Chains A and B, each alone.
Chain A
Amino acid sequence: MRASIIEVLNQRRHRNASALVLLAGLVLPALAAWYAEWLFAGARWVHEPMHAVVEALGGLIGYVAAAILLYWVADDEYGQRVPTALGLMAMGTLDIVHAAQAPGNLFVWLHSWAICLGGLGFACVWLPARWFAGISARLVPVAVVAFWAFALGSVALDYMLPAMLTADGMFRATARALNVGGGLMFYGASFFFARRYARSGGRHDLMLAGFSSVLGSAGLLFELSSLWDAAWWLWHMLRLVAYVVLVEFVYFFGRYTTRTSLEADINVFDAVPAGIMAVDGRGRIRYANKAAAKIFKLELEDLKTRVVEDFLPHELRAGHVGQRTHYMQDPVDTKMGQSRNLFAIDALGDKVPLDVFLSPIRRKQGALIVVTLIDVTERARHELERAQRARELERSNRELERSNRELDKFAYVASHDLRSPLQNIRLLASWIEEDLDDRDEVRSHLGLLKLRVQRMERLLEDLLQYARIGRKKEQVEEVDIAQMVSEIFDLLNAKRAFELELKGQLPRFSTWRVPLHLVFRNLLANALKHHDQTSGRVSVSCADAGAEYVFRVEDDGPGIPEAYCEKVFEMFTTLKSKDEVEGSGMGLAIIRKTTEEFGGNILVEPRTGRGTCFRFTWPKSIATA
């Protein structure tokens, strides 16, 4: 992962701080010691009770710090807490016993071992944490007993201890080795903590680095000091101060510091699949989790520099400032978006449909609003699909209703129109039987009979054609309307009694040829068939209406009264008796169903007086139909 500038700067700061602590822990006490020696050269302040108090206090504080480490700090926070605590307790035990001694060999022996064991305990931080996992419970009491046994044993077997002092009261090499070794081990631990602080910036590391470096210096200063002199008192005080600060610190380490550092390392909200932001009274985004950054398609750091208005649709931004100010006066839990279409604009300018929850957190510095964002893109898409399916269902329902109505109408009319010719045929046959002698009557009856049979055939044929209208099977071809209309007209107008006029430009386009041919043929045939004169004129024109053509077929025949303009399109409807003008009453029903099936419509333009004008539309392109 690429480190941000802030992280780099922080690391540099941590490194500087840790170097400073290491240096200060070593140099400052040394300088102070020299200064004290120079100031109080040769001075000796012999005060055994004071020394006893300082040492015993230091020992007790070491125990307190160890207890805090053992009970309040967890392994995953500080893996080497057990050896550190044992070091503190060993040092504490020996210091307490040391406090009760008069200066002499035992006095130096106990103190030197205190420094050495303490340094050993702290130096264990260099060892892998897993070595110490799970040993605390049993080892700690045993170790404490061992420390006390060692200290009290030393007191009891005082005469057997190796000499720590020379005859003239100077420290021997053994004492020096224990003190300097312990001091160096403290230094080693200090270096470890400082290094870890430089990397991670954990404050407890900085503190432990300081503490161990002060104790390290105390061990080394032992070299420079002699009993009761100024430097000797100085490093005793230094140790006491270090202890007190340590306890204070370890206490907070257990209570707070580790917890905040955990939050800095692991952000629980980044694992939440909903966007979470904290917004202040001025609309600034003070906190955001990863999901929120993902919703707005921004880097997390970038998101934290924005205001909420940046993500509103442009036209709502100005108004929102007022609404937000008003809301902040008395913020309450609010749900937005569930019922209405709420959406944000992300960094790329796209709409993101959202459900939004507002929950205020009241603080002294002014309320913070926790904004929870739930991306409902998926849900919105599902709803859209559902609505589309519902529309399709509705359309097919309407289609079904229409076809049911048609079927009802068909059943009703068919019962008459299909039965009537049969009934007639039966009657005519019986009359022929009765009137056998009257040749003229018989001939007339037979003529009618043949007509009824034809009517029946025609009716069945038209019904079949009507039922078959459908676009699926139809071929698409280039059609020249002028040519098609002329051909149809010539075929129908065998006697050349009628005239065809093609008005204006007629189009040439690719479409379903057969159904369009059927529409023109039926319309032209109607114009000629229902004409009440022996001659007449039919005109065909076309207008461009964008996606479709509007065709007009006009005649100068008797016309259709306005009241029948719609009725003529119903099945089996004729305006004249079928005996006057033979017809099934299906022609216009077939035309209407055909035009509608192919994306157009047809109507009779209402007019008074003579002449009929059928106007129908036909899609220009098969794709838009």
Chain B
Amino acid sequence: MQAQKQLCILLAEDNEVDARAVSRALRDVRIVHPIVRAKDGVEALALLRGNGAVEVPRPYVVLLDLSMPRMDGLQFLEELRADPVLQTSVVFVLTTSNADEDRTRAYRANVAGYVLKTRLSEGFGELRELIESYASIVELP
């Protein structure tokens, strides 16, 4: 068994219930991954750039909701990829939108995966497995 590394998770999600769902899913694991919550794209960018209330330690992955106020997920991705420091960030999209256009635009912005909330079982168990295996076997920037 490989040594588990701690992986910070930046959760960009405006919906309280969905945010809570992610927290609950990642609650019962051997190594607790710290979760930082942003309520929209602007706040998430601020956090990553170190201008936020808390620090986001590397390595981190971003769990990104697409539909958010002020700056939505896709606009956030554009800004992120244009930022020389942040452009290598690993991002998973976590959304209810099943639109082809959104999926295509997300992958063009080099997301690591596009996850539909409606495909997850109650309790987001698959999401926990995804993050766990990612944390254990993937080398992050």
Q: Footprint of B on A, CB under 8 Å?
A: 412-413, 415-417, 419-420, 423-424, 426-428, 430-431, 434, 448, 452, 564, 573-580
Contacts and interface: CB of A to CB of B under 8 A. Distances in A.
Given A428-B17, A579-B15, 4 more contacts: A415-B96, A416-B67, A424-B15, A577-B39
Nearest to A413: B67
A362 B116 CA distance: 89
A577 B14 contact: yes
Nearest to B99: A412
B139 interface: no
A392 B134 CA distance: 60
Contacts of B17: 424, 427-428, 448, 452
Given A416-B97, A419-B118, A420-B96, A575 B123 contact: no
B108 to A, nearest CB: 18
A419 B118 CA distance: 9
A416 B98 CA distance: 9
A419 B96 CA distance: 8
B86 interface: no
Contacts of A448: 16-17, 20
A199 B40 CA distance: 106
A417 B123 CA distance: 21
A64 B47 CA distance: 127
Contacts of A417: 67
Contacts of A424: 15, 17-18
17 contacts: A412-B99, A415-B97, A416-B66, A416-B96, A417-B67, A420-B15, A420-B67, A424-B15, A427-B17, A427-B21, A430-B122, A573-B69, A577-B15, A577-B40, A578-B15, A579-B14, A579-B15
A427 B18 CA distance: 8
B70 interface: yes
Contacts of A431: 20, 24
Given A423-B96, A430-B123, A575 B118 contact: no
Contacts of B103: none
A575 B16 contact: no
Contacts of A575: 69-70
Interface string B101-115: 000000000000000
Interface residues of B, number: 24
Contacts of B14: 577-579
Contacts of A427: 17-18, 21, 122
B69 to A, nearest CB: 5
Interface in B69-91: 69-70
Interface in B43-82: 66-70
Interface of B: 14-18, 20-21, 24, 39-40, 66-70, 95-99, 117-118, 122-123
B32 to A, nearest CB: 18
A353 to B, nearest CB: 52
B82 to A, nearest CB: 16
Contacts of B21: 427
SS class, residues of chain A in contact with chain B: helix
Contacts of B99: 412, 415
Contacts of A564: 70
Contacts of A576: 39, 69-70
Contacts of B95: 416
A415 B69 contact: no
Contacts of A578: 14-15, 69
The list of the 5 closest CB pairs from A to B, nearest first, reads: A424-B17, A577-B14, A579-B16, A577-B39, A574-B69
A506 to B, nearest CB: 33
Nearest to A433: B122
Contacts of A419: 96, 118
A479 to B, nearest CB: 34
Contacts of A580: 39
A426 B16 contact: no
A413 B21 CA distance: 22
A417 to B, nearest CB: 8
A413 B97 CA distance: 9
Nearest to B40: A577
Contacts of B98: 415
A580 B67 CA distance: 15
A477 to B, nearest CB: 37
B35 to A, nearest CB: 16
Nearest to B67: A416
B63 to A, nearest CB: 16
A426 B96 contact: no
Contacts of B117: 423
Contacts of B20: 431, 448
Nearest to B39: A577
A438 to B, nearest CB: 12
A577 B68 CA distance: 7
A199 to B, nearest CB: 94
Nearest to A574: B69
A451 to B, nearest CB: 9
A574 B24 CA distance: 27
A567 to B, nearest CB: 9
A578 to B, nearest CB: 7
B51 to A, nearest CB: 16
A146 to B, nearest CB: 112
Contacts of A420: 15, 18, 67, 96
B21 to A, nearest CB: 5
B24 to A, nearest CB: 7
Nearest to B70: A575
A193 B96 CA distance: 111
Contacts of A413: 67
Contacts of A428: 17
Contacts of B122: 426-427, 430
A426 B17 CA distance: 10
Contacts of B15: 420, 424, 577-579
A415 B97 CA distance: 7
Contacts of B70: 564, 575-576
B124 to A, nearest CB: 9
A268 B32 CA distance: 109
A153 B67 CA distance: 132
Most buried by B among A423, A577, A580: A577
Contacts of A423: 18, 96, 117-118
* Most B C-beta atoms less than 10 A away, residue of A412, A413, A416, A419: A416
B69 A577 contact: yes
A584 to B, nearest CB: 12
A234 B52 CA distance: 143
